[in-house]
Chain A
């Protein structure tokens, strides 16, 4: 009788991460484009509202966060779209481990590939927007805590729209309203830091969002994928 060896969830988790990083490393432009988009949008603001350091510094938290949200929408689709097209998504649902594990791995990979570069160029964005230096650290912290929420919530949206031809615009319509609380508290934290008030409250809330979204999202993503893959 044929007997299959059990597989540990951790091994599958590692394998998915490894494979996706490898895949991404062979199509680097996909990763680079949202990043360049982010830089360009942030550059547009001083050109649009004038280069006065006062006004730039005042709107900087909002501008940087809104741009980050928009640019993340650009790259979100690749979370499941390619896998859906070539059938790897189907195979992912057929792995001998809970689907939530694989979904979580996909979210982690997406975060590593899209958010980490943003975190790296954050000082540059802050510099371009004349953000007062005392708020740089808090801006970076809000991005560090907030980007996992983007990846997790984004995964839900992509899971629901991945089988649609015209999913792109729909994805933003579904996701952006859900991400408003994140935007509000993130900008509030940075603004608090600008005026020298403790940003601990909003930061804690963003942290709570992060925990909530990465624990609950895999379940919603699983349900969404089951709908899309059939």
Chain B
């Protein structure tokens, strides 16, 4: 906090290459994400955006290259990395049999976040007031998505990797998310995300990584 000159590098990817089937998605990809930065991965469908996010999260092995978090290869110390990572993928990980509250409480507990009280207020904030204790399968896709995104308020992870966080959200929800992003970046966190929409916001500067579709 005292030394503002050297911004710590959170995530660093070197010479990444990914091949799905017979097609090379990308090769020699470099990425350096510093604290306070938000990166948007752009590109057409099938260019490998989701694959890149999954490689960065350590879910998918890269054909070549390395990913390190705070100068430590993620394959060497997964637990330390995952303590500081929040990944919300295409499938959000919300159990449909459980209520919004139960889902959130589970993820808070396994991520080491102490909940002082039942997160009614938070759920109200994300627009789920009155739906807190209905099993998630009774909610709409957008509402289920909101449960997953509510985790953004219940985490101490410094790096967020989010696959299409804005899908199925209304204008209000999007604005809320932007505000939360800004807050996170200000606190020294970093975000990597994919989105179909242009991220236009006055809150922060977006860095872009463009993937081309390769045949």
Contact = CB atoms under 8 A, between A and B. Distances in A.
Interface of A: 1-7, 11-12, 15-16, 19, 22-23, 26-27, 82, 85-88, 90-91, 93-98, 226, 229-230
B187 A7 contact: no
A15 B109 contact: yes
B90 A87 contact: yes
B1 interface: yes
B83 A6 contact: yes
Interface in B112-163: 112-114, 135, 155-158
A93 B59 contact: yes
A224 B23 CA distance: 24
Contact of B106 (A2, A19, A85, A230): A19
Contacts of A26: 97-98, 135
A97 B80 CA distance: 9
B1 A3 contact: no
Contacts of A11: 109-110
Given A90-B89, A91-B107, A96 B59 contact: no
B10 to A, nearest CB: 10
State the majority secondary structure of interface residues on B. Answer: loop
A6 B112 CA distance: 6
Given A15-B106, A96-B82, A91 B156 contact: no
A95 B82 contact: yes
B196 interface: no
Contacts of A3: 156
A26 B87 CA distance: 27
A201 B112 CA distance: 46
Interface in B55-106: 57-61, 79-80, 82-85, 87, 89-98, 102, 106
Contacts of A93: 59
B57 A1 contact: no
A226 B55 CA distance: 12
B83 A90 contact: no
B126 to A, nearest CB: 18
A12 B157 contact: no
Contact of B59 (A16, A86, A229): A229
Contacts of B157: 2, 4
B178 interface: no
Contact of A96 (B54, B79, B135, B187): B79
Contact of A86 (B54, B95, B188): B95
B27 interface: no
Contacts of B48: none
Contacts of A82: 95
